[in-house]
Chain A
Amino acid sequence: MSRYGRHISLKEIGIIGQNKINASKVLVVGAGGLGCPVLQYLVGAGVGNIGIVDFDVVEESNLQRQILFGTSSMGKNKAKMAKEVLLHLNPTINIKAYNEKLTPENSISIIEQYDIVVDATDNFASRYLINDATVVLGKPLVYGAIYKFEGQVTVFNYNNGPSYRCVFPNLPQKGTMANCSEVGVLGVLPGIIGTMQANEVLKIILDIGESLAGKLYCFNALTNQSNTIGIARNEEQIEKVKNRGYDFETLDDSFFCTSSVSEINMENAIAEDIQYIDVRELHEQPRIALNNVLEIPLGELSNQMDTISKDKKIVVFCKSGIRSKQAVSLLKQYDISNCFSLKEGISAFKKRFQKQYK
């Protein structure tokens, strides 16, 4: 137990408390900016059983803040990669990596295996799903969220406190919120907020101190100002969620942060061994007459996954770059990770050919 000696010397923890930590089961949804520090501290602290849910792959632009990953992690699944790194830190922990998206279908079977859930996701659809599932299952939810230089932390469904919907009752309307791919974030901010989430988890396990249940902690990294706002339980909202039960609101993929989709410029998308996929409808013109183009309209893509090579770098294109982003998200769900959405779509090809013939 010398690994946890500095915990055990604290009279508030001691051997009994450390045993509680070692016996606990915590699910971390999202292994990104928030998830990385949460996981690092929970694994260090000896939380015995940890689940990590993330279907995304590590990208270069993640490395500025997602501290479990290095340059060599690029292209690898975040949940699996995080598990690998965390087992180096503490091989005594039982870690399960879920390389999948949390969905209305799988959320109950995953969440019910854990005592505490940490919301470290980057999109509203997941946040509302996690809230509803933890309300129904009666599990404490440690919530953290960030925007540029600001963060929020609280604990939901704990000690008869409020849920996420008691604060923000409804999923924001599609397209009303700035999308995270367009929004920057100070790298250290999720470190601060995620570390606070890990702290809340440990206090719940140990039943010490005062949790943030019923209080929304807001932090501004630029001004160092923090504001703690009281949030009350709203029985009506909680009853609504409980009455819906396992019949969760369906996720709309457009709520998923499109920063999880890798985009590529044409100049980086020219090579013999690249597999292009044209996801436009077959009647859309002009067609691209290259040998390495597969023509699969977006609607057909999930039926034709077995025609796509997992060994090649894949560049997906459409007219303007919107359908191709959806296609890349879909490919990643099928474990095809080395794929990119071509910026500007078909017009990038036009420019390329114009240059060639000049």
Chain B
Amino acid sequence: MKVEIKYFGMLAEITGCSTERFTVVDLKMAGLKKELLKKYPDFANTDFRMAQNKELVTDTTLLTGKEIAVLPPFAGG
């Protein structure tokens, strides 16, 4: 399945883009996460969370491909 992913904060710096089309085989969020970590090993350095269709999701959530976002925590103030 092809999904479009939005990257935030330092994750967008790692990918060099704010959105990207991605092809995934595994239809669970965990599968997509694994693919992302494979393509961008530096993602492992942030405790990021994934969202789909404007809701935070877990590893076991099924991919619908709707508005995937990858969010890192920010510390700054």
User: Which chain B residue has the least Cβ–Cβ distance from A122?
Assistant: B77
State the CA gap A228–B6 with chains docked (Å).
13
CB distance from B4 to the nearest CB of A (A): 13
B contacts with A, residue count (CB < 8 A): 21
- B46 interface residue, CB < 8 Å from A? yes
Is A230 a contact of B56 with CB atoms below 8 Å? yes
Chain A residues, Cβ within 8 Å of B71: 216, 218, 229
- A144 interface residue, CB < 8 Å from B? yes
State the CA gap A34–B74 with chains docked (Å).
13
Q: Take A229-B71, A231-B56, A232-B55 as given contacts and tell me if A167 and B49 are in contact as well, using a CB distance cutoff of 8 Å.
A: yes
State the CA gap A122–B77 with chains docked (Å).
4
Is A145 a contact of B46 with CB atoms below 8 Å? no
**Residue interface mask A175-213, B partner, CB < 8 A = 1:** 011101001010000100000000000000000000000
Chain B residues, Cβ within 8 Å of A33: 76-77
Is B54 a contact of A145 with CB atoms below 8 Å? no
Chain A residues, Cβ within 8 Å of B49: 167-168
Chain B residues, Cβ within 8 Å of A228: 54
**Residue interface mask B39-55, A partner, CB < 8 A = 1:** 00000011101010011
Is B76 a contact of A145 with CB atoms below 8 Å? yes
Q: Pick the residue among A147, A173, A176 that contacts B74 (CB under 8 A).
A: A147
Is B46 a contact of A190 with CB atoms below 8 Å? no
Q: Pick the residue among B9, B10, B75 that contacts A122 (CB under 8 A).
A: B75
Is A229 a contact of B47 with CB atoms below 8 Å? no
Is B73 a contact of A229 with CB atoms below 8 Å? no
Q: Take A178-B10, A218-B71 as given contacts and tell me if A121 and B77 are in contact as well, using a CB distance cutoff of 8 Å.
A: yes
Chain B residues, Cβ within 8 Å of A46: none
Chain B residues, Cβ within 8 Å of A121: 77
User: Which chain B residue has the least Cβ–Cβ distance from A166?
Assistant: B56
State the CA gap A176–B54 with chains docked (Å).
27
Please provide the chain B residues from 23 to 77 with a CB less than 8 Å away from any CB of chain A in the complex.
Answer: 45-47, 49, 51, 54-56, 69, 71-77
State the CA gap A147–B7 with chains docked (Å).
13
State the CA gap A159–B69 with chains docked (Å).
26
- A113 interface residue, CB < 8 Å from B? no
Is B77 a contact of A34 with CB atoms below 8 Å? yes
- Chain A residues close to B by CB (< 8 Å): 30, 32-35, 119-124, 127, 144-148, 150-152, 167-168, 170, 172-173, 176-178, 180, 183, 185, 190, 216, 218, 223, 227-232, 257
Residue pairs across A and B with Cβ atoms less than 8 A apart, 12 shown, are A32-B77, A33-B77, A34-B77, A145-B76, A147-B9, A148-B9, A185-B76, A216-B71, A230-B54, A230-B55, A231-B56, A232-B55
